Amino acid sequence: MTREDWLQLLKLVGTCLGNRLHHFIPAKAIPSRPLRWAVICLQTILPLGKKPLGLRLLHTLEQMGPVYIKIGQLLSTRPDILGLEVCQALAKLQDKVDPIKNLDIQAEVEKSIGQTDAFHSIDPRPIASASIAQVHQAKLQDGSAVVIKIVRPGIEATINADMSLLIHIAKHLDSRFAMVRRIHLPRIMQDHLETLLLELNMFSEARNQIQLRRNFAGSPLLYVPRLYAQFTRHNMLVMEQIFAPSIGNMTALKDANIDMRVLAHKGVETFFTQVFEHNFFHADMHPGNVLIDISDPSDPMYVALDCAIIGTLTNEDKFYLAQNILAFFHRDYRKVVDLHIRSGWVPITTDPDAFEAVIEAVCEPIFAKPLSEISFGPFMGELLETAGQFEMEIQPQLVLLQKTLLYIEGVGRQLYPELDLWETAAPFMQRWAQRNLGPLAVITELAEQGPRLLSELHRLPQLLKDDGQMALRLELAKQHSEIRQLQEQLEQMQRKRRRLFWLVGIILTGTLILVLNLDHSTTGASGLGSLLPLTFGTE
């Protein structure tokens, strides 16, 4: 790590301790005794005080900048993890971050678009201010109500500095802990950096918004505001203003007598449509980015804002994911195991019977339960912990999808806790399977791939021969696993040997000092002993 990274780390630790965030750590649950006592000592030396933990966490994330504010936005949707009071405090991070200081919005807009008469008026006070940009109301010359989204000046340098530190920490952890290696933390952090940098590019967001609006044109599920492309610049975006309450404004939704059950079901269907039908999903669905059209309380509609972060999957990942979900709905845990092995998400050496048993043990209890009785945070944690026993690797390409699922769950829990996710999602997935995995899909695929298959027909004997070598590959995989275990054992022995070497060195040095001290006190000999009074303060 560079000197700047070390300074950033010290600043991060100091900020967390200064705001007493170490009180979030459940000391009694820490298995390591030295670490547990260290946390207890810190909590004793630096007491919490009167300020609530929620406000302390909020102010800490605001101090640390956009990278950490994004984490806070995700946490703000999880009252089951942090508690309602903390989440209510963190809700400010969704669209109420402190505005840009000393910003002349009129001058900034005119400078960006190169003309002074594009807008009839611009409100200098922002109506929303987030970690990356802030939003102002305005009117075009024809009277159309629009909003102007403008990126915070200098934010790119801040993001690069913060993410440089987090990437170094990720690499450090990855080199020392097998659990971290399974989740590919350095790649996740690198992907997060690229995602944040994309949020700074309003051209990219504009393209995403246009595509998402096209995907849901005429749909009763989701409305995407019109974009004014002629005013879009690298640091600025102009779009239609929507007058509707945020999904986080539960008071307004209840006062409007919104049918929460319909809204929750539409949310699930919207998510699955984006992932499996369009393969183009909004991946930043925190409440600050979602409004609700309440013009028809019995049939409300979602409104999506801020299309900067969009997720896509490869066809292979999408099909494997869909088949996993279908197998899960049918409680076919053996199919889930087979899919994980075939996709390479777990090693080919995995014992399928044992893996099936742990998946069933974790998953079976949550069926037929409403959302109010399920918490996917602890559930996913338990599932990953048990899967980790089989060296299951977290797929970085699915991280955005996992984050979106957490957003959907958090919002759904607030809207309609009685929602049955299985009942809502299963019919959608069944229809998708009929179209994409059924006989008609197979015939269509064969028709499309027919010429290529004919051209590869001469390779059929070789393909059959390769299939016959599966046992050999399995044996090689087992040998590789055994070699890796031996390497880890050897590294552990070397670490123990180094610690023993240093321990023996310390003991010998201490003994030498003691002998020289005794020699000096009895004979007055010079040498190292004569320096000890100066060095150690002996008498």
Q: What is the 3-state secondary structure (H, E, C) of 346-384?
A: CCCCCCHHHHHHHHHHHHHHHCCCCHHHCCHHHHHHHHH
Q: Going by C-beta distance under 8 Å and a sequence separation of 6 or more, which residues neighbour residue 296?
A: none
Where do the H-state alpha helices sit in 200-314?
Answer: 202-215, 250-255, 260-272
φ and ψ at residue 190, rounded to 5 degrees: -65, -40
Annotated active-site residue in 162, 174, 284, 306:
284
**Which residue is listed with tokens 């100066």?**
534
- Can you say how many angstroms the Cα of residue 412 is from the centroid of all Cα atoms in its chain? 18
How many other C-beta atoms can be found within 10 angstroms of the C-beta atom of residue 344?
11
Residues 244, 203, 132, 247, Cα dihedral to 10°: 20
Chain position carrying tokens 């008026």: 121
Residue where the block lists tokens 């005429």: 218
3-state helix, strand, coil in the chain (%, to 5): 65, 10, 25
Q: What are phi and psi of 212, to 5 degrees?
A: -65, -40
Q: Show the DSSP H helices in 175-285 as ranges.
A: 178-182, 185-199, 202-215, 250-255, 260-272
The CA angle 154-126-55, to the nearest 5 degrees, is 80
Q: How far is Cα 8 from Cα 4, in angstroms, rounded to an integer?
A: 6
* 128 phi, psi to nearest 5 deg: -155, 145
Whole-Å CA distances, 387 to 173, 323, 345, 354, 404: 20, 18, 10, 10, 21
Cα R_g (the chain), whole angstroms: 29
Q: How far is residue 391's CA from residue 379's CA, in Å, rounded to a whole number?
A: 18
Respond yes or no: is residue 284 known to be catalytic.
yes
User: What are φ and ψ of residue 145, in 5° steps?
Assistant: -80, 125
CA separation for the pair 118, 115 (Å, rounded): 6
Rounded CA-CA distance 127/241 in Å is: 11
3-state secondary structure of 127: strand
Q: Beta strands 236-240 and 145-151: pairing type?
A: antiparallel
What is each CA distance from 26 to 18, 21, 37, 142, 380, in whole angstroms? 18, 11, 12, 58, 20
Using the CB atoms, write b or e for 301-318: b if 16+ within 10 Å.
bbbbbbbbbbbbbeeebb
* Active-site annotation, residues: 284
